[in-house]
């Protein structure tokens, strides 16, 4: 099985790519792909898998063989949610996609919400939005099934992003977003956080480059299948990356 790197086709204007970074999501990936295509039938779906030992990539490859709108980007030499998400964005950019949506591979994000996120980008006024965030922290948004500890960590990270990093959104750590590809061209993508802090780092850079952001309420459901990859060590790495960003924000170094 090979990643599809060579001579990418150019898609027609208006193409949407929905991407999912996966590591050991074999329990949910097949039904998630089906649910995404039910919500957005014309979208291409890209799964970026880091050679999961549980065979997630094989499941996706079988679906991709049968459906030209399903794609697998298999990475065999590296790991990381941040770098996987970034590679997915760049993969779609090379194919001239217009909108990218990314979401988790464990059904915590409801694929039925994707059309609302895309619609938020399409609102026509003088300056349409570049990024629509599926937000748990605006009225109507929520996270279900979380422990008190998880709520506190999430609150702290979002507070830090809004107040210390000065990114004017309430749910800066949401991994459920729709992005207009055009705005990515003006964002500096070098040395983005490679792990879970990718999402805050990306928004921070987007804000610096003048991207317009909106938040759409969603219900986040704690994973029911598979296991979390958000280990203690990943959380610590994320915290370190956020502190680095804060130093940069306040001291410009
Ligand atoms: N490609 C890739 N995907 C990853 C990696 N780590 C996590 N993911 C995926 O990133 C998404 C979010 O990871 P989760 O483990 O669900 O993290 P979380 O939502 O903070 O934690 P839970 O609420 O416990 O599920 C899932 O689709 C994971 O499979 C990685 O190293 N590489
Ligand atoms: Mg999850």
**Segment 187-215, tens digit of pLDDT:** 999 999 999 999 999 999 999 999 999 99
The C-alpha torsion from 193 through 197 and 198 to 204, rounded to 10°, is -100
C-beta of residue 219 within 8 angstroms of C-beta of residue 144? yes
| C-alpha 228 to ligand 2 mean position (Å) | 6
Which one of 19, 20, 21 would you pick to mutate in the ligand 1 pocket, going by the greatest count of ligand atoms within 8 A of its CB? 21
* pLDDT surpassing 70 at residue 229: yes
Categorize the per-residue pLDDT at 5 as very low, low, confident or very high, splitting at 50, 70 and 90. Answer: low
User: What tokens does 162 get?
Assistant: 């809004």
| C-alpha 126 to ligand 2 mean position (Å) | 36
Nearest atom (ligand 1) to Cα of 25: 29
- pTM of the complete model beyond 0.85: yes
Cα(first)–Cα(last) distance of the chain, in Å? 42
Q: Report the pLDDT value the prediction gives residue 2, as an integer from 0 to 100.
A: 47
CA-wise closest residue to 229 among 72, 134, 87, 104: 104
Domains detected in the chain: 16-251 (3.90.550.10)
Q: Report the pLDDT value the prediction gives residue 1, as an integer from 0 to 100.
A: 45
Q: Report the pLDDT value the prediction gives residue 230, as an integer from 0 to 100.
A: 84
User: Is the CB of 84 within 6 Å of ligand 1?
Assistant: yes
Which sign does the torsion angle of CA 85, 234, 174, 127 carry? Answer: negative
Q: What percent of the chain stands above pLDDT 70?
A: 96
C-beta of residue 114 within 8 angstroms of C-beta of residue 18? yes
Nearest atom (ligand 1) to Cα of 175: 12
Give how far the C-alpha of residue 80 lies from the chain's centroid of Cα atoms, to the nearest Å: 13
Query: Is 149 exposed, middle or buried, given 0-12, 13-18 or 19+ CB atoms closer than 10 A?
Result: exposed
Average pLDDT of the chain to the nearest whole number? 94
**pLDDT tens digits, 122-133:** 876 677 899 999
Nearest atom (ligand 1) to Cα of 23: 29
**pLDDT tens digits, 90-121:** 999 999 999 999 999 999 999 999 999 999 99
Q: Report the pLDDT value the prediction gives residue 34, as an integer from 0 to 100.
A: 98
In this structure, are strands 219-221 and 177-180 parallel, antiparallel, or unpaired?
A: unpaired
Which one of 86, 229, 236 would you pick to mutate in the ligand 1 pocket, going by the greatest count of ligand atoms within 8 A of its CB? 229
User: What tokens does 51 get?
Assistant: 């050679």
Q: Which residues lie below 8 Å from residue 58, measured CB to CB, with a gap of 6+?
A: 1
* pLDDT surpassing 60 at residue 25: yes
Q: What percent of the chain stands above pLDDT 90?
A: 87
């Amino acid at each position: 099985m090979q990643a599809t790197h060579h001579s990418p086709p150019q898609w027609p204007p208006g193409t949407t790519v929905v991407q999912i970074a996966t590591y050991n999501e074999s329990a949910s990936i097949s039904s998630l792909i089906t649910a995404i295509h039910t919500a957005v039938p014309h979208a291409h779906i890209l799964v970026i898998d880091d050679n999961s030992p549980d065979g997630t990539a094989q499941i996706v490859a079988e679906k991709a063989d049968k459906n030209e709108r399903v794609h697998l980007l298999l990475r065999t030499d590296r790991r990381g949610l941040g770098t996987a998400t970034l590679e997915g964005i760049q993969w779609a950019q090379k194919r001239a996609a217009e909108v990218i949506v990314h979401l988790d591979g464990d059904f915590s994000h409801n694929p039925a919400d994707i059309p609302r996120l895309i619609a938020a980008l399409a609102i026509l006024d003088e300056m349409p939005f570049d990024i629509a965030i599926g937000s748990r922290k605006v009225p109507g948004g929520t996270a279900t099934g979380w422990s008190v500890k998880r709520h506190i960590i999430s609150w702290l990270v979002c507070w830090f992003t809004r107040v210390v990093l000065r990114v004017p959104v309430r749910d800066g750590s949401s991994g459920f977003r729709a992005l207009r590809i055009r705005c990515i061209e003006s964002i500096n993508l070098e040395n983005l956080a490679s792990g879970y802090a990718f999402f805050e780092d990306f928004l921070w850079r987007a804000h610096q480059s003048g991207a317009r952001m909106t938040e759409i309420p969603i219900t986040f459901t704690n994973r029911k299948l598979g296991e979390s990859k958000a280990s203690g060590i990943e959380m610590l790495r994320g915290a370190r990356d956020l502190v680095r960003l804060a130093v940069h924000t306040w001291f410009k170094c």
